[in-house]
Amino acid sequence: MRKKSGSRRIILKAPWEIEKLREANQIVAQILQELRELVKEGITTKDLDRIAEERIREQGARPAFKGYYGYPAATCISVNEEIVHGIPSEKKVIKEGDLVSIDLGVILDGYYGDAAFSCFVGKAPSKQADSLLRATKQALYAGIGKAKPKKRLGDISSAIQEVADSYGFGVVRKFVGHGVGRSLHEPPEVPNYGVRGTGPVLKKGMVLAIEPMLTVGSYDVEILEDGWTAVTADRSLAAHFEHSVAITDKGPQILSDGFI
Ligand code: MF3
Ligand code: CO
């Protein structure tokens, strides 16, 4: 989500609500898994979006992004220097070596699922590109590892940033993770940079969409003329991974588990 200011209260979820969120996120995970296998040279991002929307409806769910502040599609598909919010298009043909990021959200029975991954089409175009992808995934799991009762939000943020820093990659600041529940975006914002030991104390029943976006160059963002597509200001490669995670007594539970 785009970074906003102001804060409302964090909504805690009952165990049965976490199960609802798991159902929604499992639909997301299953479709992302299928899309991952379909991302091949020659397919258009519009083809991928069409398949995603079909699958969502087959499962009795609805696309969460379509119509959200006027967003026109079921998925966001962002290629190479595009970071997030790429609009699927029949003009956008996938080619060998592309770094493709697919973000998908659904609503099922009033509860939201939200997750994303990046992958290469065929082989990574360079060692650096390959390491960007691995670093972003590692950053996501480092953040998830801190999603436990009594930790603080800043522990998640700083764990993500430390991984990015250790590789020398940039962390996008303009977009952040978020709470997720009966709305796609709930408090709190979950930045991918920050200071450990600061911010709200994490509690059982919080559900967070954790979504690091890393860049090989500058983390500055530009929005293209379509009003949505966020690209790196220096047009360097960017990667994005996202899981929806419940904080429980047993530790973090990845509700969207199964596709990365
Ligand atoms: N996972 C993204 C986010 O949380 C997807 C939002 S796309 C939008 O910002 F189209 F719905 F805005
Ligand atoms: Co999200």
pLDDT tens for the chain, 260 residues long, are: 888 766 689 999 999 999 999 999 999 999 999 999 999 999 999 999 999 999 999 999 999 999 999 999 999 999 999 999 999 999 999 999 999 999 999 999 999 999 999 999 999 999 999 999 999 999 999 999 999 999 999 999 999 999 999 999 999 999 999 999 999 999 999 999 999 999 999 999 999 999 999 999 999 999 999 999 999 999 999 999 999 999 999 999 999 999 98
CB 104 within 8 A of CB 136: no
What are the CA-CA distances from residue 181 to residues 20, 60, 190, 233 (Å)? 9, 18, 14, 32
B/e letters for 191-214, b = 16+ CB within 10 Å, e = fewer, are bbbbebeebeebebbbbbbbbbbb
The number of distinct structural domains making up the chain is 1
Give a yes or no: residue 3 inside a domain: no
Domain extent for 181: 15-254
Give a yes or no: residue 1 inside a domain: no
| Ligand 1 lined by 76 (C-beta under 6 Å) | yes
Q: How far is the CA of 142 from the centre of ligand 2 (A)?
A: 17
Q: Note the helical H segments in the chain.
A: 15-38, 45-58, 127-144, 153-167
| Ligand 1 lined by 111 (C-beta under 6 Å) | no
The single-letter DSSP state of residue 173 is: -
Give a yes or no: residue 131 inside a domain: yes
Give a yes or no: residue 2 inside a domain: no
Give a yes or no: residue 6 inside a domain: no
Q: How far is the CA of 68 from the centre of ligand 2 (A)?
A: 12
Give a yes or no: residue 113 inside a domain: yes
> How many degrees, rounded to 5, is the angle at CA 237 between CA 4 and CA 158?
50
Output the six-digit token pair for 101: 């990021």
What are the CA-CA distances from residue 173 to residues 83, 141, 162, 176, 215 (Å)? 12, 19, 14, 7, 11
The single-letter DSSP state of residue 97 is: T
β partners of residue 175: 2
Q: How far is the CA of 102 from the centre of ligand 1 (A)?
A: 11
| CA–CA separation, 137 and 214 (whole Å) | 10
Q: Which CATH number belongs to the domain containing residue 197 in this structure?
A: 3.90.230.10
Give a yes or no: residue 230 inside a domain: yes
Give a yes or no: residue 8 inside a domain: no
Question: Is 0.85 surpassed by the pTM of this model?
Answer: yes
